[in-house]
Amino acid sequence: MSYLNDRTNAIELLRTEHQQMRDLLRVVTATDDLEQRHTALNQLSNAVCMHTELEQRLFCPSVVRHIRYAHLQRSSEEFDQFHKALDDIKAMDDVGQEMVALAENLLEKHIFDTEELLFLPIENRCSDVTYSLSQLSARMHAKKRELEKRLGISKAS
């Protein structure tokens, strides 16, 4: 399912993770099989942990000077709300559709704001940003491999 390689830039890496989280959340909403839902929720939880580490701890601090801080803060707060909603869903025996819809809305809001308010302005900037992104991409790929190993996630996930 992963379309990433070590040459994928930092923004594309995060966009790919956004799509993977969308796909996993769709599995949660589409299945009535409790075991399949549980597996998808665990994979989604791992994806959220990895995404948080890469986006909020590596990407955002590296690009803060190129974008408005308020946009970073908003994206971070939305993702925190999504993470909390996901934790609530995982704690439930019977997951209601309204709870999953809330999580979907929070995730979509985070994705929209991040991609429109952060990624696009950065991609439209001058070459110093491109150079910084290339250095950042290498650090993010190394961190992703470290997190996959720590979380026991296989490359095919």
pLDDT tens figures, 98-140: 777 888 888 888 899 888 888 888 877 755 555 567 778 888 8
Q: Does residue 4 sit within a domain?
A: no
pLDDT mean across residues, the chain: 81
Domain hosting 24: range is: 10-151
Q: Does residue 156 sit within a domain?
A: no
**Percent of the chain scored above 70 by pLDDT?**
86
Q: What is the mean pLDDT of residues 30-57?
A: 87
**pLDDT higher than threshold 90 for residue 23:** yes
Comparison of pLDDT for 61 and 67, the residue scoring more: 61
Q: Does residue 5 sit within a domain?
A: no
Q: Does residue 16 sit within a domain?
A: yes
**pLDDT higher than threshold 80 for residue 157:** no
Q: Does residue 1 sit within a domain?
A: no
Question: Which residues are within 8 A (CB) of 51 and not within 5 positions of it... i.e. 6 or more apart?
Answer: 14, 17, 18, 21, 79
Which residue stretches of 53-95 are H helix? Answer: 60-63, 69-91
What's the pLDDT score for residue 3?
Answer: 42
Asked if 113 and 71 count as a contact pair (C-beta separation under 8 A), the reply is: yes
In whole angstroms, what is the distance from residue 154 CA to residue 157 CA? Answer: 6
Nearest alpha carbon to residue 89 among 102, 99, 98: 99
CA triple 156-150-72, angle to 5 deg: 85
Nearest alpha carbon to residue 99 among 121, 81, 116: 81
What's the pLDDT score for residue 1?
Answer: 37
What's the pLDDT score for residue 5?
Answer: 47
Number of domains the chain contains:
1
Give the tokens for residue 88.
Answer: 């609530």
Q: Does residue 25 sit within a domain?
A: yes
